[in-house]
Amino acid sequence: MRGTRRSRPQRGATVIRARVTGVGSAVPKKILTNADLEKLVDTSDEWITSRTGIRERHIVSEGEKFSDLCTKAAEIALKRAHVKAEELDIILVGTISGDMPFPAASCLVQRNIGATKAAASDVGAACVGFLYGLHLADALIQSAKAENVLVIGGEILTRYVDWTDRNTCVLFGDGAGAAVLQATKGDHGILGSRMKSNGNYADFICMPGGGSNHPANDPKSIEQKLPYIKMKGNETFKIAVKAMADITAELLTEQGFSKDDVKIFIPHQANERIIDAVGERLKLPPERVYKNVDRFGNTSAASIPIALDECLQKDLIKTGDLVLLTAFGAGLVWGSVLIRW
Ligand code: ACO
């Protein structure tokens, strides 16, 4: 069922949209299974599978770098989009685990792919980093500040996992995904996006050390295990389900669509129970809710572009389909993006 859509900014007579013209992803080769984790901490395959849906995750080996994963994903996306790196106007990398605190990961990707004229900046929005990147890319394209944008979501959170903390070490995996967005005239592309945050819950998921408050070079940081992920999982869970379902429903209504118009819903892959609960609240049939958390775990900012790439490679998305993306993460931040493919 369709209603009236909100009017969009236009250049000339025709609507300009940010269209996704190429997607790519890359994950490390090494796989860590639940059985491997049983040897590290007091956990079981049964607990991890039933509470999270995760069976295995890809994790980086020594020497593997964040910027290399992003570069690989970007090169695939550019090739599929038939866009040369030199044509890019800006690169936005959604991440909280770049190679180093500075320079930005996006600058390293820019160098690696040879995007000579591109501006580059990182977007720090944890698991929602890729969607914040799409939101910004759409605004840049709508306002004619850019024509070709590369948005990457990537993460190597396993380097910040405390491998003695069973509450968190079973959850995360590594990877990167990239999308090329191009200014096009017509109905295909990002139709709308909504982002939110609530810093009152900043301590629900955080890494207290490694920033300027408790620098990594302070011996106390290591002693007190500060540069590691801390999470109030259960409290986060409850907020995540409602926030994701609400923002998704709001976006659909704002754009004049109903759940029946959506071909595929790709939620952030943190926990199968969260995904199912959000799908149920939205009354979406399970076959239209995409899941791959069993094979990748929570790859944070990389989870949606990796899943999107899989959907495209499996031919689950065709031109004209409505694709709905929703994520939630540390901040707390959450957001949703609706795309006409
Ligand atoms: N193996 C066995 N037992 C465990 C494990 C484990 N790996 N981890 C926790 N437990 C135990 C706990 O100690 C607790 O035991 P107790 O009752 O004796 O104290 C029990 O299991 C239940 O713990 P809960 O925390 O209540 O478990 P819950 O069902 O909430 O699942 C989980 C925990 C998986 C973390 C879930 O809460 C979750 O997925 N939360 C949301 C995470 C999320 O979405 N984060 C946002 C993105 S992350 C980012 O932005 C970087």
167 catalytic, yes or no?
A: no
Q: Return the best residue to mutate from 95, 167, 273, 274 for the ligand 1 pocket (most ligand atoms within 8 A of CB).
A: 167
- CB-neighbour burial class of residue 3 (10 A; exposed 0-12, middle 13-18, buried 19+): exposed
For ligand 1, atom 29: residue with the closest CA:
51
The reply to whether ligand 1 has any atom less than 6 angstroms from the CB of 124 is no
Q: Is the peptide bond before 332 cis (omega within 30 degrees of 0)?
A: yes
CA–centroid distance, residue 232 to ligand 1 (Å): 8
Residue 222 has pLDDT above 70, yes or no: yes
Kindly state if the Cβ of 51 falls inside 6 Å of ligand 1: yes
Confirm whether 112 is a catalytic residue.
no
Cβ contact 330:128 at 8 Å? no
**90/146 Cα distance (integer angstroms):** 7
CB distance 236 to ligand 1 below 6 Å: yes
Cis omega (within 30 of 0) on the bond before 208? no
Best residue among 131, 229, 235, 237 to mutate for probing ligand 1, ranked by most atoms within 8 Å of CB: 237
Q: Which two tokens stand for residue 170?
A: 């079973």
Residue type, 159: R
Return the residue whose CA atom lies nearest to atom 45 of ligand 1.
Answer: 329
d(CA 334, CA 152): 17
Q: Determine the Cα–Cα distance for residues 208 and 226; give it in Å rounded to an integer.
A: 5
The mean predicted confidence, pLDDT, of the chain is 95
Q: Is 270 in the pocket of ligand 1 (CB under 6 A)?
A: yes
CA of 230 to the centre of ligand 1 (A): 11
The model's pLDDT over 258-306, given as tens digits with 9 standing for 90+, comes to: 999 999 999 999 999 999 999 999 999 999 999 999 999 999 999 999 9
Distance CA 43, CA 34 (A): 9
- Segment among 10-14, 68-72, 88-92, 253-257 with least mean pLDDT: 10-14
Q: For residue 25, what are the β-bridge partners? A: 177
What pLDDT digit, counting tens, does each position of 85-103 carry? 999 999 999 999 999 999 9
The number of residues making up the chain comes to 341
Q: What is the pLDDT of residues 200-211, one digit of tens each?
A: 999 999 999 999
Measure 239 CA to ligand 1 centroid, in angstroms: 14
> What is the pLDDT, as a whole number, of residue 13?
55
Of residues 127, 135, 169, 271, which has the active-site annotation?
127
pLDDT digits (tens, 9 = 90+) for 178-199: 999 999 998 999 999 999 999 9
Query: How many Å lie between the centroid of ligand 1 and the Cα of residue 319?
Result: 39
Distance 93 CA to ligand 1 centre (A): 28
107 has catalytic annotation: no
Q: Report the pLDDT averaged over residues 218-237.
A: 93
Q: Does the structure show a pLDDT above 90 at 246?
A: yes
Amino acid at 215: P
Mean pLDDT of 213-224: 92
Q: What is the pTM of this model?
A: 0.94
